[in-house]
Amino acid sequence: MAESGSFNSGEYGGRYLEFNWWIEEKNSGGNWIRIGWNLIPRGGSAQWYYTKSIAVNIDGEQVFYAGSGKTKCYRNTTFASGSKTLYNAGGRNFSASTSGDIYTYGTNNARGSGSWTLPTLAINPTLPTSISVTGGAGGSWVNKDNPQFSVSWSGATSGTYTIAEYSIDVALYGSNNWWNTGSVNTSATSGSATRTISGASGGQKYQVRVGMKTSNGQWWNHTYWGGTLNVYSSPTAPTTFTAPSSVEIDSGFNLTWGGARAGSNGIAGYDLEARAYNGSSWTDWVRIFSAKNQSSYSVSKIKNLTVNGVNYSKNGEGVKFQYRIRTSDGIIATSAWKNSGQIGITINSPTVPRKSIN
């Protein structure tokens, strides 16, 4: 298989024409090769000599004709040159020839030819056509304390060389400073992986791309995910959560809290839940409210409080209630729960009757 070639024409008195060709461009996708060529007078001692009807044919097509008149050729100087695109080119043969007269006319002594086998064209692979990314917290969200995400891709194709490796890269949104979070060594045309964004901070956004390498060691660019991963930090639970230890059945009470810290998305409000002890076990937690900009909650009378559809307070003394609270950013993150102590119900103490006056 040849990347270039040449031949010499017939001669007259040592004078001849030298034909040369070389590859200018290969296109594996279109399966074509473009060659460059030239024709150079050689031999003899004079600076120039006459030729007539010189023609060049490449791959069955005449690519040059000097005309039927006499043409002065200068020794060792390009007489003709050009380019020729050869289609269906990979691995096939092609030929070139010259014809015409050197110095004496009608003899066709400039006749010459050559034949060569073109190189095999490598078939390029294609990148994945589809890529999807899911944050470890669901959707496009990633928790800074565990900044994992899952990525999957499909639609790649192998070419002359098999697929050998995929890289999963990330960069801050708007930045071109990409880094590899890890590679997947496989020859498959699709795949998936779970990766971690090192050093992620709440409020950051990240881009994701997948690169591909073939078995000859060549990287073939990247497929980019169209979305962004959003890194968040969670708010913290209130540091104080105050509740009475016991309440008379006809009395009310207040729950108060404070000390919560905002995450990257701020504080949108608080979730408050209650549960009751019915004498043998605790019932499930029941959501009392989700409130914004609130730092307290009031119960007007404990005997009016119902949990899980049951008013345990009617059972009187010995029934216990408990509350818990957490902080929410209203978007994706909540804090851990903070529990109150147990609130026991006591029966109202009797009052002394007033003395009647007869």
Identical topology for domains 4-117 and 130-232? yes
Of the candidate ranges 37-46, 55-64, 267-276, 291-300, the one whose mean pLDDT is the lowest = 291-300
Region 240-346: CATH code: 2.60.40.10
Write out the CATH class of domain 130-232: mainly beta
Instruction: State residue 347's pLDDT score.
Output: 64
**Domain extents in the chain:** 4-117, 130-232, 240-346
Closest CA to 97 of 62, 66, 59, 56: 56
Average pLDDT over residues 256-277: 90
Tokens 């949104």 correspond to: 173
- The string of DSSP codes covering 30-71 is TTEEEEEEEEEEE-SSSSEEEEEEEEEEETTEEEEE--SSEE
How many percent of the chain have pLDDT more than 90? 68
pTM of this prediction? Answer: 0.62
User: Using CA atoms, how far apart are residues 28 and 163, in angstroms rounded to an integer?
Assistant: 17
Q: Do residues 246 and 345 lie in contact, with contact meaning Cβ atoms separated by under 8 Å?
A: yes
Pairing of strands 269-277, 240-242: unpaired
Instruction: State residue 252's pLDDT score.
Output: 82
Q: Is the pLDDT of residue 167 over 60?
A: yes
Instruction: State residue 130's pLDDT score.
Output: 96
Instruction: State residue 297's pLDDT score.
Output: 84
Q: Is the pLDDT of residue 114 over 80?
A: yes
Instruction: State residue 293's pLDDT score.
Output: 75
Q: Is the pLDDT of residue 151 over 90?
A: yes
Which tops the pLDDT comparison, 308 or 233? 233
Q: Do residues 190 and 152 lie in contact, with contact meaning Cβ atoms separated by under 8 Å?
A: yes
Both tokens of 198, joined, read 């090192």
Closest CA to 35 of 103, 107, 116, 111: 116
User: Using CA atoms, how far apart are residues 289 and 203, in angstroms rounded to an integer?
Assistant: 28
Of the candidate ranges 9-18, 127-136, 292-301, the one whose mean pLDDT is the lowest = 292-301
Assign a CATH topology to domain 4-117: Immunoglobulin-like (2.60.40)
